[in-house]
Amino acid sequence: METFAPAQPFVHNPGYRDDCQQVKAAIDLNAVDVPIRALITALNQLRYCYTLQCCYGHFLHARQSNPHNLERLPANDIGPVHYRIAYLALCLENSTPGIRLRSYLERVPEVGAGYIQFGSPKWFWEQSPNSYALQVEPERFCELDAATIKYQEALHVQNIRDRFFKRLAEIVCDCARS
């Protein structure tokens, strides 16, 4: 599945308000990974954005085969790790606060250079203009939704994923105050 495409410029989207209301009314927080439920709730309280999809990211290995596990990696080397990407996809309103939020999101890759991408995956954009996604994935795998990596790199990805979601929470908190 294509997960990355360069970010697109904002376009006029006359259906934004209706789409926003529909999506926010239908969200099932029980389907959201527990560690990011508060973030998704806070994002969806902003009137100029709504979430499309998200995932906390999952690490599978010889001792953990549950594709939805939320466990941290063990402290000792467990060999190759199959990583299913952490990401956040959202739709922004073409408005001053929406544009400002996008500018903050564009800088999130600085948290983990080479491991966080910001863009506009085509299949989101086609359904919801002004859609943007951030993903945590080693850059060499940026177009995939999963990759098998060495244990040491998996630890690094886990650390970046944690910083990624912390930074997103800070951004949303700042946006809610302004």
Position 2 scores a pLDDT of 61
Q: What is the pTM of this model?
A: 0.95
| Average pLDDT score over the chain | 95
Position 54 scores a pLDDT of 97
How far apart are the C-alpha atoms of 161 and 176, rounded to whole Å?
A: 23
Mean pLDDT throughout 2-6?
Answer: 79
Q: How many CA atoms lie within 13 A of 128 on its CB side?
A: 24
Q: Which residue has the higher pLDDT, 81 or 2?
A: 81
Is the four-CA dihedral 27, 30, 31, 36 of positive or negative sign? positive
Question: Position 106: which residue type?
Answer: E
Angle between helices 96-106 and 151-177 (to 10 degrees): 160
How far apart are the C-alpha atoms of 9 and 32, rounded to whole Å?
A: 28
112-161 pLDDT tens trace: 999 999 999 998 999 999 999 999 999 999 999 999 999 999 999 999 99
On the question of pLDDT at 4 being above 90, the answer is: no
Residue 112: both structure tokens together: 């983990």
Position 141 scores a pLDDT of 95
CB neighbour class for 98 (10 Å; exposed up to 12, middle 13-18, buried from 19) = buried
33-55 pLDDT tens trace: 999 999 999 999 999 999 999 99
Which of these, 68, 63, 162, 73, lies nearest to 112 by C-alpha position?
162
Measured in residues, the chain has a length of: 178
On the question of pLDDT at 1 being above 70, the answer is: no
The domain spans of the chain are 16-177
How far apart are the C-alpha atoms of 11 and 95, rounded to whole Å?
A: 10
> Looking at domain 16-177, which of 3.20.20, 3.30.70, 3.30.1960, 2.60.120 is its CATH number?
3.30.1960
